[in-house]
A and B are shown apart, each in its own frame.
Chain A
């Protein structure tokens, strides 16, 4: 086993150079930008999910195995490879399962002004979280278990996109206890962790 604190020899600089390269400034880094342009076809499950946003609705799929609700719907329960088809309309409220404060700007995303908060939003009635922005309070006040509601774009600006929800804001309700927030309750649910049904009773 090599010592993880010792750089591999290929990175330690111990190479012999031809005369032509001995007295010149060596190249130490190289720019290798990558760019992939591609198009995505939503498919039936994601298309219904996206079109629901234009109607100010949030929909998931219920697993026929144990009733767990997944959002965004993929047309399959990824745990069992079981097809899902039952559409479930979800509440516009939920809680923060986990979150991250981003302090660095992302090139090309001038709409995201640091520092901002992205979070796993666990909707009431959903077994899993999905990604959203949290605003409407100080970043320092965002916490795991905080209850939030969707802030939608004006009705005239809704479209078949998750961006129809601008962000999530605090509702002011009491927090979901830490040990039941996010997927923590899910893991605690069954003896073998297979029970994905909502256990919080906040659906």
Chain B
């Protein structure tokens, strides 16, 4: 409530959703829990990450889940400072579209670097996994600059 400046109220809208994943999204989350990233193969051979249930062009159901690389290239990014209160990340970080090697659609995730100066389009990054994984996108702590020669 304001003082003389008009009535104002702070409100909170909150829902504790639990969603059923289905086998396709479920496979992606199962993969994260097991420490692998998966995509889905389209009839033209291209691979979408994360996997989607239907082909975005032909609408045909997609069923072939494939394991993909846990490293790739930043194709677009922004710098987040400060993170919003409910962000998975407490520290300023990059938020990037990452094209994993061998895939054809980019994955959105955080890039764990200290400043925007350490982030650029085309930079190589690799997945950073949490030790305790539950089947959630945050099983990936984020992506970090690839250490040359350290990733297969």
Verify A31–B18 contact, CB threshold 8 A. Answer: yes
Interface hits, A14-62 → B, CB 8 Å = 14-18, 20-21, 24-43, 46-47, 50-51
Q: Which chain A residue has the least Cβ–Cβ distance from B84?
A: A37
* Segment from B2-10, B100-108, B120-128, B141-149 that makes contact with A: B2-10
Verify B66–A18 contact, CB threshold 8 A. Answer: yes
Give the residues in chain A near B11, CB-CB below 8 Å.
37-40
Tell yes or no: B44 within 8 A of A by CB.
no
Contact of A28 with B16 at beta-carbon distance under 8 Å, contacts A16-B65, A51-B7 already known: no
> Chain A: residues with CB nearer than 8 A to chain B?
8-18, 20-21, 24-43, 46-47, 50-51, 107-108, 160
Tell yes or no: B36 within 8 A of A by CB.
yes
Contact of A33 with B7 at beta-carbon distance under 8 Å, contacts A14-B63, A21-B31, A21-B34 already known: no
Could you list some 30 contacts between A and B, CB below 8 A?
Answer: A8-B61, A9-B61, A15-B23, A16-B64, A17-B27, A17-B65, A18-B31, A20-B31, A24-B30, A24-B33, A26-B30, A27-B26, A27-B135, A28-B21, A29-B20, A30-B19, A30-B135, A31-B17, A33-B15, A34-B13, A34-B14, A35-B14, A35-B86, A37-B11, A39-B8, A39-B9, A39-B10, A39-B11, A40-B9, A42-B8
Interface centre among A12, A14, A32 (most CB of B within 10 A): A32
Give the residues in chain B near A9, CB-CB below 8 Å.
61, 63
Which secondary structure characterizes the binding site on chain B?
mixed
Verify B21–A29 contact, CB threshold 8 A. Answer: yes
Instruction: How many A-B residue pairs have C-beta atoms within 8 angstroms? Tell me.
Output: 130
Tell yes or no: B95 within 8 A of A by CB.
no
Verify A13–B23 contact, CB threshold 8 A. Answer: yes
The 7 A-B pairs with the shortest beta carbon distances in the complex, nearest first, are A10-B53, A27-B135, A42-B7, A27-B29, A9-B61, A18-B67, A36-B13
Tell yes or no: B130 within 8 A of A by CB.
no
Verify A18–B38 contact, CB threshold 8 A. Answer: yes
Tell yes or no: B12 within 8 A of A by CB.
yes
Contact of B17 among A8, A28, A34, A38 (CB under 8 A): A34
Contact of A26 with B27 at beta-carbon distance under 8 Å, contacts A41-B8, A42-B6, A160-B1 already known: yes
> Measured between C-beta atoms, what is the minimum distance from A68 to chain B in Å?
25
> Measured between C-beta atoms, what is the minimum distance from A145 to chain B in Å?
33
Give the residues in chain B near A12, CB-CB below 8 Å.
23
Q: Which chain B residue has the least Cβ–Cβ distance from A9?
A: B61
CA A51 to CA B20, docked complex, whole Å? 45
Give the residues in chain B near A42, CB-CB below 8 Å.
6-9
Verify B29–A35 contact, CB threshold 8 A. Answer: no
CA A146 to CA B127, docked complex, whole Å? 63
Give the residues in chain B near A39, CB-CB below 8 Å.
8-11
Give the residues in chain A near B53, CB-CB below 8 Å.
8, 10-11
CA A14 to CA B65, docked complex, whole Å? 11
Contact of A15 among B9, B19, B65 (CB under 8 A): B65
CA A43 to CA B6, docked complex, whole Å? 7
Give the residues in chain B near A8, CB-CB below 8 Å.
53, 61
Contact of A33 among B17, B36, B54, B67 (CB under 8 A): B17
Give the residues in chain B near A38, CB-CB below 8 Å.
10-13
Give the residues in chain A near B30, CB-CB below 8 Å.
21, 24-27
